[in-house]
Structure formats: C-alpha cells, structure tokens
Chains A and B, each alone.
Chain A
C-alpha cells in the first residue's frame, strides 16, 4: 500500500464532522426521549387486558422489530407525506422513525422489567393508599427503569449508530458529512476513519457504563 496519509485533511474535515456529530447527537437525544417515554407507555398499555389496546400495540411493536430500520426510515420519508399529507423536514421524519423504532424495542425491555417486579408490590401499594397512577409512577416506573437500564442504554446507543442511516434521506449528520467530504476531497481514509472514531468515542464509554450499572442495580435490587 502506498497511501500518503494526510493530517492536513484530517484537520480540515474535523470542524465539519463535528457539526455532523452534533446533528447525530441531537437526533439520538430526541429519539431516546421518545423511546424512553413512549416505550414505557406502550409497555403499560401491553399489560392491559383489553384487546382493543393490546392488539394495535402488538402490531406496532412487531412491525418495528421485524423490518429493517432502513426501510422504516425510507418509508417514513417517502410514504408518510403522501399518505397523511404532512410535509415535515427530513430530519423530523428521521427522528420520528428512529424514535418509534426505539420505543418498540424499549417497550419490550420495560415489559420484561415490569414482570420481574414482585406482584406483592401492587398489594403493598394499595395497602399504603396509593392509587393506580401513583403506583405506576412511584413504585413500578422507578424499578422498571433500574431493572431495564442496561438494555435501555444498549438500545439507546444502538440508535445512535443506526441514526447513520438518516444520511440516506439527506439529513446532514455525521455520516452524511463524512461521505460528502470524502468524495469531495478524495480522501476516504482520513475522513471515514475519523468518522468511525467519532462514533466509537461516543459509544465506547457508554458501553462501559452499562457493565458498571448492571452490577450496581443487581446489588440494589437483591432481596
């Protein structure tokens, strides 16, 4: 191999890639907010005995779990505007697809966590005069969050990586900027390596945190 690595191009690409990273992080943050909140609501809904509630939710979860994220994203971008006559920005459509995808996966994590909470806590809550909503907020949700935390974070960081797909619908994220610069400067090695390192630099510490949190919650929730 006779490639002449150019630090100059690394340096020149850096600010633009940083801008892209910012867009990626913003997308990830909002997708995670949707995923954490909506995922919990869906999980609570799935515990209902009323089929009219659980049936559409099951369909929603399975749709997002059983199709590639790429088609979900493209479908939202191309089909939703035509079907529903809404014309939102590509970034918003991307966010919607990622957020709904994450919520579907998170709802399963929450559901497993909720099932691990002893049923006796429901009786204890009633005996303490807490109503259904108070029980969900102060007894179920915090425990579900703790128990599901490792999976929720893993899913969340998964979405950070998956979000690279939005480059395909021209959202100017890290991936988009990387591809743009590398083709413009004919410097794929410098640019794309830097892009990969940026993704890694964000993901890796989070991945370490998961291991740590897992050990800590296990100790706290031991009975």
Chain B
C-alpha cells in the first residue's frame, strides 16, 4: 500500500463539483508537486487532505490508514490522530500576531500535545537555529519579513513532527527577492527526507524539488511523471499546452 492514497475522492462546493472520483498515490520517499491551471482544485486537494474540507465521497489514507472517509451531507469521518500527523503551510501568512515567534512554535505542542514548556522551547530553538532564525525567536510576526514569516510557519508545522507536509503556494505572496530563502528551507527539508506535497506556480522550483510531478486539470490527473519526463517530454497535449503557457508568461 502506498504511503498516501486518495481513492475516488468526491468534493463539491454546493452545486459546483471539484472532484468527481479523483485518485492519487504517493510513496514515502516522494516529493510530489501539483501543477495545473488556476481553479483546477490544487488548493482544494491539499485542504481535503488536511481535513479542512468536508468531502462527499472517497477515502484519503496515510501510511495505509484511511483517516478521512467521505460521505454525503456532511457525514464525513475524520481520524484526528492521523490528521495530526499531517502538517500544512498556507499561501497567506497565518502566524498568530499576538504571539512571538517562539510562542507561535510552542502553542500547538504545548496545548494539543501536552508538551512541557521547556521541552517545547528547546525544540523550537533547535528548529529556528536550523533555519537560521535563532536570533528572531523573541520577535513578533509584524517585525519579520514575508520570507521569514513563511519560514517560521514551516518551523511551526514541524514542531508537531508531521509525517507528511503540505505546501500550498507558500511563496506566491512574497516579493521575488524573498522567494529563494523559503525555497531553500523547503529544499533542506526535502534533503532531510520529509515527504511533501507541494503546490507551486514556479516551474523551476518544481523541477528542482520534485520526485513526481502531477499535472491536474478540471479535477483530473492528466499526467504524472518524474520531473525530467514531465517537463522535458510531456506525453499529453494538454500538459504541453499548459507548460508552454506558463513558461511563456514566466519569460
């Protein structure tokens, strides 16, 4: 059984159907990058996996454990213990402004895991130092640059030792010169062997970090392949068109 397995996922927003029987698998050594046109459901997919969305059908499994099982009329079942093994970083800054960097990192481990304060702080400092943010521990989010905020958000998610990390366009809201530091942090995490699913519009970064690239359109996987194959030699016309378009825009 695959590490991540999505079977027959059905997701609707009211009468709008985003996924109607969507399947996807990923192994624990994979870093899967999702690409596709705007509105094709990339964010929705990650949100479903995080347990943030009600799904109308299908199952989502982690490590062979189906932790989300969809059902009509909001009767979805969600195993919260497995949900806690998934971490997510969002496009928009979601650091809590009333807490310092250290406070942001320690909140969840202390409150939802019952970790002691000094243990949590030690762990937080270790992570911050690893990401070159050790001197920012006492700062408040409003005193950080966008790139620093996103790196703190990544560290915050890592405090809970996730088995899988989800990244939804974490560099899209950043000024161009700040993108690199966040991408480097993600690369470092990749090298440390963290399984991740990444949504990005940055094709160069996708090519660098991915072991698998999935091109998705209108709630369907059109093509999934290793980055060199998908970018270098796409099999499907639609993949080719999409890539031609985005690479043109990027110049």
Residues on A lying within 8 angstroms of B by beta carbon are 118, 120-121, 123-124, 126-131, 134, 138-139, 142-143, 146, 219-223
Contacts and interface: CB of A to CB of B under 8 A. Distances in A.
A221 B108 contact: no
Nearest to B108: A128
A134 B140 CA distance: 21
Nearest 8 Cβ contacts at the A-B interface: A124-B94, A128-B108, A129-B112, A127-B88, A129-B84, A142-B98, A222-B142, A221-B97
A220 B83 contact: no
Contacts of A129: 80, 83-84, 108, 112-113, 160
Interface string B63-88: 00000000000000000100110111
A120 B94 contact: yes
B108 A223 contact: no
B116 to A, nearest CB: 17
A102 to B, nearest CB: 24
Given A138-B111, A221-B142, A223-B142, A127 B52 contact: yes
Interface SS of A by simple majority: helix
Contact of B90 (A124, A130, A131, A223): A124
B94 A118 contact: yes
B52 A219 contact: no
Contact of A220 (B84, B97, B157): B97
A129 B161 CA distance: 12
Question: Which among A129, A222, A223 has the highest number of chain B CB atoms within 10 Å?
Answer: A129
Interface of B: 47, 50-52, 80, 83-84, 86-88, 90, 92-94, 96-99, 107-108, 111-113, 140-142, 156-157, 160
Contacts, number: 69
A184 B156 CA distance: 67
6 contacts: A127-B157, A130-B107, A143-B97, A221-B98, A221-B142, A223-B97
Contact of B96 (A121, A127, A134): A121
Nearest to B156: A128
B222 to A, nearest CB: 28
B94 A130 contact: no
Contacts of A221: 97-98, 142
Question: Which among B86, B112, B113, B156 has the highest number of chain A CB atoms within 10 Å?
Answer: B112
B189 to A, nearest CB: 16
A134 B113 CA distance: 12
Given A127-B157, A130-B112, A220 B50 contact: no
A219 B142 contact: yes
A128 B160 contact: yes
Contacts of A134: 111-112
A129 to B, nearest CB: 4
